[in-house]
Amino acid sequence: QMAVMMAQMLATGTNRPEMKQLGQDIITAQEAEIEQMRSWLTEWSL
């Protein structure tokens, strides 16, 4: 989740389009991974 927070700062703290896109790509990937891990926790009753 820390990576998402850092990527949000990157995406909003720059004027460079490629850096904004990188930040958004990181957010998208990390959110998918976090959701997968939460799904496993639910599935495994942890």
User: For 1-46, what is each residue's pLDDT tens digit?
Assistant: 899 999 999 999 999 999 999 999 999 999 999 999 999 999 998 7
Residue type, 30: Q
The whole domain housing 20 covers: 1-45
| pLDDT value at residue 46 | 73
Give the number of domains in the chain.
1
In angstroms, the Cα distances linking 3 to 6, 33, 42, 45 are: 5, 11, 23, 26
Claim: this prediction has a pTM higher than 0.85: no
